[in-house]
Amino acid sequence: MPVKPWWRETIETILWALVLALILRAFVVQAFWIPSGSMIPTLDPGDRVLVAKFWHVLSEPKRGQVIVFKYPVDPSRDFVKRIVALPGETVRMENGTVLVDGAALSEPYVVNHDNFNMPEMKVPDKHYFVMGDNRPNSQDSRFWGFVPKTFIKGPAFVRYWPLSRIGLLH
């Protein structure tokens, strides 16, 4: 077997690395940058997270998961929020307290509360009600409605930047 020249070996290695990176990004995991403070204190502006794009094969979205999804008003933009209510559930807010099927949610991740009131709404089939953890500074399902399941890219499962805050997301 003839030996390949070094330059050809280098080009082939780079091409295979690019193909593998594109496949991983399309189907397995993708990095996202957090642009706003809507998820403080869970995620700060400038944080970078990894999203498991294969999540739907393993399990259904769950209440409390932090997800990345296509913004329903402008699907060319990605948003990150927390799932608060699941398909078929009713959700409402009284003085900033979220009630799902009439029971108040325990939300220890919400530090900044508001006094928002919202009438009861039923979450449609294959849709989710999402909210930011920084309630006074979050544009979320309270304002633009439900997120279709098909718009969910996956759960954010780890913060990898900044290094001082690296770790799994709960």
Active site residues: 38, 81
Instruction: Please measure the distance between the N-terminal and C-terminal CA atoms of the chain and give it in whole angstroms.
Output: 53
Positive or negative: CA dihedral 42, 87, 95, 108: negative
As given in the structure block, the two tokens for residue 127 are 């849709």
* Residue 19 backbone dihedrals phi, psi, to 5 degrees: -60, -45
Question: 105 exposed, middle or buried (CB, 10 Å; 0-12, 13-18, 19+)?
Answer: middle
140: left (phi over 0), alpha (psi -120 to 50) or beta: beta
The answer for residues whose C-beta is within 8 angstroms of residue 84's C-beta and 6 or more apart is 63, 91, 98, 100, 105, 129, 130, 131, 141
